[in-house]
Structure 1
Amino acid sequence: MGRPDKAQRAAIARRRSDAIDLRLAGVDWLTIARKLAADPTANSDGIAYPQGYGIERYRKAMDPPSDEALIHAACRDVRAALADRRAELKDDVDELRALEADRLDRLFFVAYKKAVRDQDLAAIDRTLRIMERRARLLGLDMPTRAELSGPDGGPLEVESKTVGELESLIALTAPDIA
């Protein structure tokens, strides 16, 4: 078996899409596998699904794959479809991030020229806001460090309580539910 041609790749993509749609609808693995099987004797709809599971066995007039093999193929398809969708989303997000950065650059240029030329405080503020937004978008800001401390900046005190003591504290602080 060689590489699938364009029509076969399209049929495989359709099968994967159908598999993921069925899984998202809550259909169990065996039902998905049988619905997308190539051999009409294994297919729950009694048809030969194009590029369905076990297509090579069907073409060679062999027995259809076992239920376990069909389930394995359906799981593999769903994993592959999800990986493809994640990759597409990442590409889309990267593309959108670059587009937003370009937009911010254009806005920054206008605000910066006005801020420098006119020494306009509103334009300076707008320039800084654009810079802040761009830094957040591109992850340029360092994370803020937070440190917890006790009274007067001293160490926190940690107490141990038994379950009974905790229940008593909850009973004291919880509103009466009647």
Structure 2
Amino acid sequence: MGRPDKAARAAIARRRSDAIDLRLAGVDWLTIARKLAADPAANSANLAYPQGYGIERYRKKQDPPSDEALIHAACRDVRAALADRRAELNDDVDELRALEADRLDRLFFVAYKRAVRDQDLAAVDRTLRIMERRARLLGLDMPTKTEVSGPQGGPVQVEDVTTDELDALIDLTDPDTA
């Protein structure tokens, strides 16, 4: 089987979107799988879902996939759709990060010129702030090591508490209840 044509890819994308929407709505995996099955005999609405699960078996007039196979297909679809969405978000974040870096570069140029030319200390401070912001945005600073310790540098004590004990502690520290 070759790569699906444009219409089939669009139908698969729609199926994946439907699968995510159903999962976000709290629908269980088997119900999702049956709703998006290609074979009307397996489909909960007795419809042939376009590019649905088990489409190849349906085209060959074979029995529909087992519930386990349908569930596996639905899970695979949701994972693939979420990975695609994450990739899109990462692309958007990278694009926004580049745009912000360009903006900071422009602001830096103005502040730097004033700091050097006019020896303006306020412009020097502004230049340094822009440099710090750019370094944070692009991850240029070396990470700082943070160590958490208990009293006198000893180990942190962790205790189990009940919900009632936790509520009592919150009440003691909440200025609105004091």
2:125 counterpart residue number: 125
- Structure 1 distance, partners of 2:81, 2:149, is 48
Match of 1:50 in 2: 50
Instruction: Determine the structure 1 residue equivalent to 2:94.
Output: 94
Matched with 1:137 is 137
Aligned AA (2:131)? M
- CA distance in structure 2 between the aligned counterparts of 1:93 and 1:14, rounded to whole angstroms: 24
* Cα distance between partner residues in 1 of 2:69 and 2:146: 52
Q: Which residue of 1 aligns with 2:175?
A: none
CA drift at 1:146: 4.0
User: Deviations along 1:48-80, whole A, 9 cap, x unmatched?
Assistant: 111000111111111111111111100110111
Other-structure match for 1:39: 39
1:17 and 2:17 aligned: yes
Greater Cα radius of gyration, structure 1 or 2: 1
Structure 1, unaligned runs of 5 or more: 164-169
Return the alpha-carbon distance in structure 2 between the equivalents of residues 63 and 90 of structure 1: 41
Match of 1:64 in 2: 64
Count of aligned positions: 164
1:8–1:149 Cα change, 3 Å: closer
- Output the CA distance in 1 between the equivalents of 2:146 and 2:26: 43
Amino acid at match of 1:51: Q
The amino acid of 1:84's aligned partner reads D
Supply the RMSD in Å over aligned alpha carbons: 2.7
What residue identity is the alignment partner of 2:60? K
For residues 156-175 of structure 1, the aligned pairs below 5 Å read 156-157=153-154
Is the CA contact 2:149–2:156 (under 8 Å) kept in the aligned structure 1?
Answer: no
| SS of aligned partner of 2:145 | coil
The normalised TM-score by structure 2 is 0.82
Superposition misfits of 4+ residues, deviation over 6 angstroms? 148-151
Q: Contact 2:150–2:156 (CA<8 Å) still a contact in 1?
A: no
Asked if 1 retains the 8 angstrom alpha-carbon contact of 2:148 and 2:156, the reply is: no
- Aligned residues of 2:41 and 2:64 also touching (Cα < 8 A): yes
AA at the equivalent of 1:24: L
Separation of aligned partners in 2, 1:5 and 1:145: 52
Identify if the C-alpha distance between structure 1 residues 147 and 34 changes in structure 2 by more than 3 Å, giving closer, same or farther: closer
State, as a whole percentage, how many aligned pairs show the same letter.
Answer: 86
Distance (Å, rounded) in 2 between the aligned partners of 1:145 and 1:127: 27
Residues in 2 aligned to 1:117 and 1:20: alpha-carbon distance in whole angstroms: 57
